[in-house]
Amino acid sequence: MTEVLVGVLVVVLLLAATFAGASVRILREYERGVVFRLGRLLPQKGPGLVYLIPFVDRLVRVSLRTVTLRVPAQDVITRDNVPARVTAVTYFRVVDPNKSIVEIQDVLAATSQIAQTTLRSILGKADLDTLLAEREKLNDDLQQIIDDQTEPWGIKVTTVEIKDVEIPEDMQRAIARQAEAERERRAKIINAEGEFQAAAKLSEAADVISQNPVTIQLRYLQTLLEIGGEQNSTVVFPLPIDLVGPLLDAVKDRAGGAGGSPAGEPGGPDGPAPESKRALTK
């Protein structure tokens, strides 16, 4: 009799443990429970201990953590008829667990399909330059459109990033040539602006020198000093006749005081001295 009672007690304890295991669930902090009682939706459960009626309630766990969804590479044709292969990544999370279970069958697959179709639609309306240079604006447009479409499912799309853009090699070479031409254009513009500024400064310097002729002599001396500092074996430097004129007159007066030269001879009063002076002037 005692053995029978012990056996019955063991069976009762096993049934109680099975009942307790079927009626108690533990949900983590980032998890929520969607409970159906005989097919009818109950209020959201969790986190912590959740008590269920065995064989009556059914619980579905839903994670609230952000999901990283890689959008497969999509072949798109931009508005300027350039083929491109684009990959993207989408970050989303569940904000309403009940809707994510009741409103949609597979929220991950549905969000992936929405992201792919939206990516092809938006990038097909943009040209290649916009696709390469204005990714932030395209990312914002993609995020807003995908978020609006997934909102009824209890999904919040936080970020959409265009990861990579692949274009044909001939188009890459064309872009490289375009960039090179743009750099050459900028270099020519900068060079022209520099010459224009230098010409303006030279004009101002000429105005200053014209007001005081002595400054040109100081400039000649400064130039001689700069040339003398360089390691040059031969220096050819033109001098204006105004500087050497007094020296020529002194030499001429000294020669005349010493008796001068006969008329008609080189260096005499009727000789080619003026031509020599003009030659020196040249």
- Domain range annotation of the chain: 18-63, 67-167, 168-228
Please, what sign has the CA dihedral across residues 243, 247, 253, 255? Answer: negative
For residue range 198-242, what is the model confidence (pLDDT) as tens digits? 888 888 877 777 777 677 667 766 776 776 666 655 656 566 666
Phi, psi angles (nearest 5°) of residue 230: -85, 160
Q: How confident is the model at residue 158 (pLDDT cuts 50, 70, 90)?
A: very high
Highest mean pLDDT of the ranges 10-19, 169-178, 221-230: 169-178
Would you say how long the chain is, in residues?
A: 282
Mean pLDDT of 245-262: 67
| pLDDT number for residue 267 | 47
Instruction: Please give the distance of CA 147 from its chain centroid, rounded to a whole number.
Output: 26
Q: Is the pLDDT of residue 280 over 80?
A: no
pLDDT at 36 over 70: yes
Handedness of CA 230, 235, 238, 241 (dihedral sign): positive
Distance CA 138, CA 130 (A): 8
End-to-end CA distance of the chain: give it in Å, rounded.
Answer: 145
SS3 state of residue 264:
coil
Question: In this model, does residue 147 exceed pLDDT 90?
Answer: yes
pLDDT at residue 263 is higher than 60: no
* 249 compared with 237, residue with greater pLDDT: 249
CATH of domain 67-167: 3.30.479.30
Per-residue model confidence (pLDDT) at position 69: 92
pLDDT score for 91? 95
- Identify whether the C-beta of residue 255 lies closer than 8 Å to the C-beta of residue 267: yes
Rounded average pLDDT over 149-173:
89
Q: Which residues pair with 48 in a beta bridge?
A: 27
What are 65's two structure tokens? Answer: 């953590």
Tell me: pLDDT of 270 over 70: no
Distance from CA of residue 85 to its chain's centroid? Answer: 20
- The token pair at 149 is 């479409």
